[in-house]
Structures are given as structure tokens and as C-alpha cells.
Structure 1
Amino acid sequence: MLQLGDDVTLYSLVFVLVLLGTRSPLWSTVLTVLVYLFLATFRFPQASTARARHVLRPDARAAGSGQVSVVAHRGGGHDAPENTIAAIREASKNGATGVELDLEFTADGIPILMHDEAVDRTTNGSGLLSRMKIFELSKLDAAAKHRLRNKFAGEKIPTLEEAVKECIKLQLIVYFDVKGHPDEAAAAFRDLYKKYPVLYNSSIVCSFEPKVIYRIRQSDPEVVTALTHRPWSLSYFGDGVPRFSSAWKHLWMMLLDIVLDWAHHHVLWRLCGISAFLIQKNFVSQEYVQYWAQRGVAVVAWTTNTNVEKEYYQEVLHINYITDSLVEDCEPHY
């Protein structure tokens, strides 16, 4: 159910803004009612509490971490080539509860694991995924640019199904990070969950794009989902550098960031019916965790790459975290 405080805040704000713009109490009332009816009609309920808890708090599998799940970012991109079978196996060996894996598509529509839209950064190849077919990708070395390239030489780019089968075998929770392609992703997951129903209780679909999560819930409302968010992501890169040199454009994007942040915390989360909120680590606090707990939403911090940070999230905040390495401190991937 929606929180009463959230309802009052949202609809009061809508009413006041429309009133200031139109000076008409009638139109303010009508538009506020329309917003209410829209949310009541088109929002998705959260996945069952038991299912979400099994995915987000798999106590029996969280070896050595109590109630907290430790999730390997891109399979643990510091410890092995990111988004590969080798990374999944290393993460399991190093004690991860789960792995976060990135979904992309080849030119011939095959779902694969890849973070970028091009293969240049991580492989010995070059080019956009949208122009490469699966047989071309199968020839690339996914370890070519990794710091441990000699140890993992010849590692291949796996298909989504190959990765899922390995995760099921190793009993890992899977955080699917979907970069886009809402229709293609919804179709791929519909087939995948039908073929491997164990995923309903061992995976969560996440995205920065609310339309992706909404489309996933439309396709299968039983899937556990999460929104991923980093405040100021439109105006700043992950390392804090401004995205735009133009002062006016930068200011405009900052204003859009404020609107986007408000929408995530007051509208989009309940429209999509998410069970978790993945937030960049610098914005997590006890108050923030409590804010989402009151709404039945778990907080997951990313990307947590030092022992000091990990101890804080595990021992003080008691929330799941995503990390690039399970064996040592390292620099984050944005």
C-alpha cells in the first residue's frame, strides 16, 4: 500500500503547482484527481514480500555475511574479466552471495553479457554491438584488456543463458542490469524465467531506466525488480566531472536532475512496484535506509570497494552492497 505521507505530499504538490500555473482551483482539483487515477490504474504492486526477501536476504547463502548480501559488480570486474563465466566462478569461489550482470543484445538479437555498447574497452575487438553478430563476438577475447589477462586468456563473451545456467549451478543470486532495449529485454526475460523458473526466487531485474522496469513488470509482474539511481547523473559523470562545458546547459541538466531525483523517490518507484532501490554509495545514510524501509523497499549500495565501506554497510547499516572485488580494495568502475 502507498504511504499516507507520500500521498499527501505528492498530491498537495501537484495541486499547488497547478494552482500557481492556472490560478484555477477547479483545474487544480481536476488535474490532481487525474494524477491519482493514473497512478491507481497503471501502477504495479510490489512482488510478494516473501519472494523479495528470498532474493534480497538469502540468509542460508550469505556465507560469513549474516543478513547482508555481497554482490559482485559485473561478476567482480577487478578479480576476473567482467561479465564472463570466469568472473561468475571467481565470485562464487571468493564468497559472493550474488553477481550483478549487464544485459546487452547482438545485431542478430541474442542477449549477451556486456556493459558497453561497443566491445573496444574489454576485448581485443572493435565495433558496436548493434553491428556485430553472435558468431563474430564468439571469436573475441573478453580478457584482452583485463589486468589478469594472462590468467584468463581466451575467455569468451557469454550469452545470457550461459551465464544464468552457471549462476544456477553455483546457487548465486543474479542482479540483471538492463541498459535499455525495454521490449527486447522483456521478451528475453519472459522466455528465460519460463525456462528457468528458479530465477523467480533467485534474481532481480534492475535498470537506470524506469521504462525498462515498467515493461518488465508488464511482461511478468511476478519478477522482482529494482530501480538504479545516482543523483546528479545527468549533469555529472560518476567521478564528479561536469558532463557539459556550457554553463547554461549544465544548469539546465542540474534542474532536470532535481526533477528526476524527486520522481524516483515519489512517483516512479511505486509506478513500477519495485522491491529494491540501488543507489550510489555516497548517498546512503541511516535516514535514507529508513526512508525506503518504511515503503517496503530495500536499499542496495554501489559500488563499495574498500573494507572500511563494506564494514559500514554490513555492520552499521545492514544493507546489501555491490563491489568490484571480494578480495582487496580497488578503484570503482562507474
Structure 2
Amino acid sequence: MLQLGDEVTLYSLVFVLVLLGTRSPLWSTALTTSLYLFVAMFRFPQLATSRARQVLNPVAGKASAIAHRGGGHDAPENTIAAIREASRNGATGVELDLGFSADGVPILMHDDTVDRTTNGSGPLNKMSFSELRKLDASAKHRFRSKFVGEKIPTLEEAVKECIKLKLTIYFDVKGHPDESAAALKDLYKKYPVLYNSSIVCSFQPKVIYRMRQSDPEVLTALTHRPWSLSCLGDGTPRFSSLWQHHWMMMMDILLDWAHHHLLWRLCGISAFLIQKNVVSQDYVQYWARRGVEVVAWTINTKLEKDYFQEVLHINYITDSLVEDCEPHY
């Protein structure tokens, strides 16, 4: 829960910023009060800590290793083969990316196109499920000869495999808030074990809020990377225009503030998935005081894994369970 001191600091800061911008005590009071009432009326409460711990820490006293995209370095990402390989390699859970075919079938796919991971080409939202099913999801993988002919799975096929292998699922939702919430709600109702073995995550707060609206009993997490609006994962600027780059940097500062002071509370999240470079003992404690667990990504060396598991004692997401590798952005 948000402590009283944190709440006073948050709204005091908002009041001061509005006052500096408007120079009107009346407007500052009105806008700060409106924000307080909005959050109080429309926020979702956090789920019980015991529920969150059951999902996030299924092995008591031990941090969990979560296979990123099913473990995309060890097997073709977001496939049944990857899920099975992650289980064999000792993963506690898997992170899976939710996408949709042109005819609305929920599938596993990270990108907006099929070009990077399959032998096909084109936008995901222009291809029917029957067309997607004909593609080889192992075509671009370094171990393609071992996994030749691997298919793009439906979301339900992946869920059934994870349940069978007793793997925790981190559903990574890229967009389509309404469609994603509906698809996941149906799965949770069909497979109730998911309530205590999975969590829905997204970079987009709207997705998480819509999921809580659809089913308030589903465990959720916000995902965040500082400077994500202005820079790519490797630090390269997204925009060649200098003014546009600096404008998006300002938006990044605002988004970062919102995640840490407002959005987490509005959505009632149980975990915060954050890029590894931000994480420290103080950062973990910051979220612990708010009843939120930190999950770091993407942790791809043994040295990093030892640090996050043995020193920070927090879960981490990794591209490989068996060897050091470069991050997959």
C-alpha cells in the first residue's frame, strides 16, 4: 500500500508544479484535488500479497528465472519448443508475447511482422491464422535444424503446455487492450489455475487498466524502460530530428514519473518489470514499501544472474538459461 508520506509528497508536488505553471492557488488546489479524487474513485486495489507471492515466488526463498519469449536464445522464440526447452533448462516460468492474426486468433508473436522469426514476410495483422500456421517459426533461429518446421502456436496451445509443465506465465501484451483483455479473460475462466500461476504485463498502462476492468482478480504488472519513447533498446535515438528527440525525452521524464508515482497505484499492480540498469537495493526497497515486487530484464550473463538472485533476491527475465548471450531487444 502507498504510505501516507508518499501520498502527501505526490499531491504536494503536483500542487507546486501547477502553481508554478498557473500562478493561481485556486487552480492549483482545484486541479490537485481533481487528481486526488480521480485516483481515489477509479483506481484498482492491489490483490492480496499472498496471491502475488504464490505467482511470483512459487519456490519459497528462491528468485525465479523467467525465459524471455520462452527463451529465444535457446529455441525459436514464442513457440511450444521454446516452452519445453525452457522447462528442461530449469526455468521457473516463461514470458510470452501476445499477438493477433488478421482473423482475430490470439497467437504468440513479438513483432508486428513475421519477417524476423519466420520464413514468411508481411504484417501480422494482414495474415490469417491459416496463413500463419504454414510458416516455419524456426527459420531464422541459430538452431533451426534442430527445430525445423516449428509452428506459430495459438495462445491457448501455449497456455496448455505451460500448465502441463507447471511453468509460471508472464503474458506480455503489446497492444490491442480490448481484444487482449477479452482473450485473456476467456482463458482465465477456462483454466482457473492461471489465477495462481500467471501475471499479465504491459508497457502500456491502458492495457493493464483494461485487464483489471475485465477481470479484477487477474494479477498484473507494468513494464518500463527509461527513455523508451526517445531511444531504442540499444540506446539509439528513435528520431533523426533533434527537436523531436528532445521533445520525446521530455515525455520520457513525464512517463517515468507517472509510472513511479501514479500509474502503478491507479492500476493496482503487484509487480514492476524494469530494465536491469535501473535496479539497485534501494530501488527494490522503494517498490517493496508499496507492496510491489521488482522483476528485472534482460539478465543474460552468469555474473548478472548471481547478483540479482543472490544479492537482490528478485526475479529476472533472461534470453538463455544455459549460457551467456547478448540481449534480444
Q: TM exceeds 0.5? A: yes
Local SS of the residue matching 1:59:
coil
Alpha-carbon offset, residue 247 of structure 1 = 1.6
Instruction: Report the alpha carbon displacement of residue 4 of structure 1 after superposing the two structures with TM.
Output: 1.4
Residue 300 in 1 paired to residue 292 in 2?
no
CA distance in 1, matches of 2:20, 2:308: 43
Summarize deviations over 1:92-128 as a string: whole Å, max 9, x none: 0010000000000000100000000110000000111
- 1:243 is paired with a residue whose SS is coil
How big is the shift at 1:129?
1.0
Query: What is the one-letter code of the residue matched to 1:323?
Result: T
* 1:92 pairs with one of 75, 87, 93: 87
1:312 counterpart residue number: 307
Q: CA RMSD in A?
A: 0.9
Provide the rounded CA distance (Å) in 2 between the counterparts of 1:255 and 1:142: 39
Corresponding position: 1:331 with 2:326 = yes
The aligned residue for residue 163 of structure 2 is 168
Q: 1:78 aligns with which of 73, 82, 89?
A: 73
Counterpart residue number, 1:7? 7
Q: Determine the structure 2 residue equivalent to 1:122.
A: 117
Corresponding residue SS for 2:34: helix
Matching residue of 1:227 = 222
What's the counterpart of residue 63 of structure 1? none
1:19 maps to what in 2?
A: 19
TM-score, structure 1 as length reference: 0.97
Aligned partners of 2:178 and 2:210 also within 8 Å: yes
- 2-side partners of 1:5 and 1:150: how far apart? 58
Deviations 1:279-302 (A, max 9, x none): 001111111001000000000000
- Give the corresponding residue for 1:273: 268
2:195 corresponds to which residue?
200
* 1:187-213 Cα shifts (integer Å, max 9, x gaps): 001100000000000000000000000
How many angstroms apart in 2 are the aligned matches of 1:146 and 1:18?
A: 52
**What is the SS of the residue equivalent to 1:74?**
helix
- How many residues align structurally? 329
One-letter code aligned to 2:244: K
1:129-148 to 2 correspondences below 5 Å: 129-148=124-143
Measured in 2, the distance between the counterparts of 1:187 and 1:230 equals: 26
Q: Which amino acid aligns with 1:309?
A: E
The Cα offsets for residues 230-255 of structure 1, whole Å up to 9 and x where unpaired, read as: 00111111111111222211111111
Q: Which moved more, 1:102-111 or 1:14-23?
A: 14-23
Structure 1 runs (4+) greater than 4 angstroms displaced: none
Q: Given residue 169 of structure 2, which amino acid in structure 1 is its aligned partner?
A: V
* Matching residue within 159, 164, 180 for 2:175: 180
More displaced stretch, 120-129 vs 239-248: 239-248
Deviation at 1:23, TM superposition (A): 2.2
- What is the alpha-carbon distance in structure 2 between the residues aligned to residue 276 and residue 28 of structure 1? 32
The corresponding residue for 1:49 is 49
Moved more, 204-213 or 42-51: 42-51
Letter paired with 2:158: A
For the Cα contact (< 8 Å) 2:69–2:78, is it kept in 1? yes
Q: What is the distance in 2 between the residues matched to 1:244 and 1:131?
A: 27
Moved more, 98-107 or 1-10: 1-10
Is 2:64 the counterpart of 1:69?
Answer: yes
Q: For 1:271 and 1:8, how far apart are their aligned partners in 2?
A: 16
Secondary structure of the residue aligned to 1:279 is strand
Comparing 2-11 with 259-268, which one deviates more in the overlay?
Answer: 2-11
> 1:44-94 CA deviation, whole Å, 9 max, x = no partner?
01112111110001016xxxxx52010000000000000000000000001
Partners of 1:37 and 1:162 lie apart in 2 by: 43
Give 3-state SS (helix, strand or coil) of 1:165's partner: helix
Task: Report the Cα distance in structure 2 between the residues aligned to 1:230 and 1:118, rounded to whole angstroms.
Answer: 23
In 1: Cα distance, 2:194 partner to 2:246 partner? 43
- Deviations along 1:154-191, one digit per CA (max 9) or x if unpaired, are 00000000000000000000000000000000100110
1: CA distance, partners of 2:31 / 2:229: 29
Q: Give unpaired runs (5+ residues) of structure 2.
A: none
In 2, Cα distance between equivalents of 1:126 and 1:22? 52
Q: Which residue of 2 aligns with 1:249?
A: 244
Report how far residue 331 of structure 1 moved: 0.7
Q: Which amino acid aligns with 2:54?
A: H
**What is residue 232 of structure 2 aligned with on the other side?**
237
